[in-house]
């Protein structure tokens, strides 16, 4: 079993994104968004944020975000990784009035 996990922090006013992946199985990007300063969950962002993944230096492919049941401020994007290696993640859109365009790479 090949797994990859990458906790990512840095997006303001968002905070945490990660993907725990098993190649060939249905997996998900997990994104949790908390308001800066209050740490209150931010809901409704499936309408304003987009998630995309690229393998290595390849082209990004978008995956729709959906609310994460039972997790306030949480979102999932269903993916099936096809190979082990380095993945790049990109989140674009808006959170409130803040424009988001952040890219991260798995270890």
Percent of the chain clearing pLDDT 90 (strictly above): 30
- Average pLDDT on 69-76 reads 93
What's residue 59's pLDDT?
A: 94
What's residue 21's pLDDT?
A: 60
pLDDT band at 68 (very low <50, low <70, confident <90, very high): very high
Report the predicted TM-score, pTM, of the whole model to 2 decimal places.
Answer: 0.76
- Average pLDDT on 80-93 reads 83
Order of strands across the sheet that contains 87-95: 61-63, 49-55, 87-95, 98-105
Cβ–Cβ < 8 Å for 91, 97: no
Cis peptide, bond prior to residue 13, ω within 30 of zero: yes
Provide the mean pLDDT of the chain. 78
């Amino acid at each position: 079993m090949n797994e990859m996990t990458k906790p990512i922090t840095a997006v303001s006013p968002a905070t945490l994104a990660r993907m725990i992946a098993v190649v060939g199985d249905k997996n998900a990007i997990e994104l949790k968004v908390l308001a800066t300063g209050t740490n209150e969950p931010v809901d409704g962002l499936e309408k304003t944020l987009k998630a995309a993944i690229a393998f290595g230096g390849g082209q990004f492919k978008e995956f729709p975000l959906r609310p994460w049941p039972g997790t306030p401020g949480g979102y999932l994007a269903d993916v099936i990784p096809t190979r082990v290696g380095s993945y790049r993640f990109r989140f674009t859109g808006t959170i409130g009035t803040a424009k988001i365009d952040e890219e991260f790479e798995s270890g």
